[in-house]
Amino acid sequence: MPATSQHNEQAATTPNPFPGPAAEYGENPARFLANERVVDDGDGTRGELMLARIRGLETIELCGFWLAVERALANKEGREPRDRVERAIRERKAHLEEHGEGLPQAGMTSAERREAAADRDSESAAVLLDEDGEEVSWSRQRGASVGASR
């Protein structure tokens, strides 16, 4: 399950131009896009995390969201969107259109991976208990406390 908040100084400084879609997708692309103003194409490490994350985008829709965030950040900062970032997103989108969505090395679509993760979630080694001592799944862990290991 994606993190819903950041507990550090970055959380206060990371812009979030589209909080609704960020919550829907479970990520804020500005976390990657805002940190590096100049993308390094391989001469060092600056920008490599951003480009690696773009290469890992799983859906065409998510590519569009990332592109919108790059453009919103550029507009906010009074600059043009970075050509290298836009090109990387467009290339990833084209790849997904040609080969299908998801990460091929996983051998599953994003929906299949979510289902598999939910199955793994139900096979947890720890047991969460609610205030009445009833077992609670990991996906509903609000207000739960760890009971005993199986």
Q: Are residues 74 and 96 in the same domain?
A: yes
Residue 1, in any domain of the structure: no
Residue 91, in any domain of the structure: yes
Residue 131, in any domain of the structure: yes
Q: Give the chain's mean pLDDT.
A: 75
Domain total of the chain: 2
Position 54 scores a pLDDT of 92
More confident residue, 137 or 148: 137
Residue 54, judged by CB atoms within 10 A of its CB (0-12, 13-18, 19+), counts as buried
Q: Are residues 98 and 63 in the same domain?
A: yes
Question: What value does the mean pLDDT take over residues 15-37?
Answer: 83
Assessment of whether the complete model's pTM goes beyond 0.75: no
Within 10 Å of residue 104's Cβ, how many Cβ atoms?
11
Position 1 scores a pLDDT of 44
Residue 2, in any domain of the structure: no
Q: Are residues 115 and 92 in the same domain?
A: no
Range(s) of the domain holding residue 56? 9-107
Position 144 scores a pLDDT of 45
- CA 10, 44, 40, 30: dihedral to nearest 10 degrees? -20
Q: Tell me: the pLDDT tens digits for 57-116?
A: 988 999 999 999 999 999 998 989 999 999 999 999 999 888 888 766 566 666 776 677
Q: Are residues 94 and 144 in the same domain?
A: no
